Amino acid sequence: MPQLQSRSLRVHADTLEYLDQTQLPQAEKWVPCDSPEAWQGAVKNLAIRGAPLIGLSAAFVLAQFAASHPEHDWQQVSDRLRATRPTAVNLMYCLDAMEACFEQGANALAERAAALFAEDRALCQRMAERGADLLKTGDRVLTHCNTGALATAGVGTAIGALAVAKQRGVELHVFVDETRPLLQGGRLTAWEMADLGIPYQLITDSMAASLMAAGKVDKVMVGADRICANGDFANKVGTYMLAVVAHYHQVPFYVVAPYTTVDPACATGAEIPIEQRDPAEIRGAAGAFGEVVWAPSDAPVWNPAFDVTPASLVTAWILDTGVFDAAAIARGEHCQGRGVAASKCWRTT
């Protein structure tokens, strides 16, 4: 296995380490991931998170398992990994790419995982540059969840665009939604903004409407976990509410994602499986700070990890392959190269 490293993933010859994102920003703790089961646990508790990073880390876990278990049923392991996060389609993309190499042996799997890593870095850079092209000095940008280097192998998606704009000398001000379920914006995006030297202010998700009503937001940029053939997309819960408010206040709303997030076999957002999370995340909170509970221990909870935003609320989709408006989406231009023959690549079971 080649030596590779991103902001939150380290690949060694025979081991994999991840930066535990549940410990940030208080501590930067690297944790070895030595089995498919360990990876599943890390993904479920959001220690490993971000649609691209989830897919890439799964590819390395599968490659390393194959190298140490040559006689095992690799397909069975891949299926288990696939079922861990049903909403994010990048996981399906990476695992299908790995499965296509099964007959070529473990070395081919290691090479394919490394190629996926390199591909994601290149995709991040291209989409970030396209997103940065839409930003100008003085823009006040609102973002949701965490879409930076922590979530990818490269500079990130929506935050990647902010980072490239900063590199170009574009002066921005960013409003950061704190984001449920584990305050990914408050813990991770705020940390990345400080690291990038981009001025920001942290807000609760419920404050975005008031901020837009006051005329303080010029653009909204978010990531995506799955983009459908019609442009509907799934992202971290709270995104749909943000899109509705932006539409009402006529604030441009952009989705930034790699082409690996596009699922042409999924016609509309109604077909996207939405993961339900642990009710305890709503009744209280736990993290590096410890644990606190503020609701009755038996309070009924509805806790979807994602919601679906209709294409009608999106100004443009910024992919590595181009910037697509509603007319381009209607023509299916964002799905080019992702036809019926590729439908297996986005199955979830």
Alpha-carbon distance of 68 to 14, in angstroms, equals 9
Sheet with 200-203, strands from edge to edge, namely: 200-203, 173-177, 140-143, 219-222, 253-256, 316-319, 322-324
Is 177 designated active site? no
- In the set 20, 139, 205, 225, the catalytic residue is 225
Q: Which of 131, 135, 130 is nearest to 218 (CA)?
A: 135
184 is in an annotated binding site: yes
Q: Which of 183, 127, 184 is nearest to 155 (CA)?
A: 127
238 is in an annotated binding site: no
Token pair listed for 199: 């001025």
Tell me how far CA of residue 171 lies from CA of 56, 141, 198, 253, 279, in angstroms.
32, 11, 8, 19, 40
Judged by phi (left if over 0) then psi (alpha if -120 to 50, else beta), residue 11 lies in beta
Q: Which amino acid is at 348?
A: T
Q: Which amino acid is at 155?
A: V
Q: Which of 39, 44, 45 is nearest to 9 (CA)?
A: 39
Backbone φ and ψ of 255, nearest 5°: -110, 125
85 is in an annotated binding site: yes
Q: Which of 101, 110, 82, 74 is nearest to 346 (CA)?
A: 82
Judged by phi (left if over 0) then psi (alpha if -120 to 50, else beta), residue 48 lies in beta
107 is in an annotated binding site: no
219 is in an annotated binding site: no
Tell me how far CA of residue 89 lies from CA of 33, 92, 150, 344, 345, in angstroms.
22, 5, 18, 12, 9
Alpha-carbon distance of 315 to 325, in angstroms, equals 7
- Binding residues, as ranges, are 49-51, 85, 184, 235-236
- Binding residues for substrate, as ranges, are 49-51, 85, 184, 235-236
Active site residues: 225
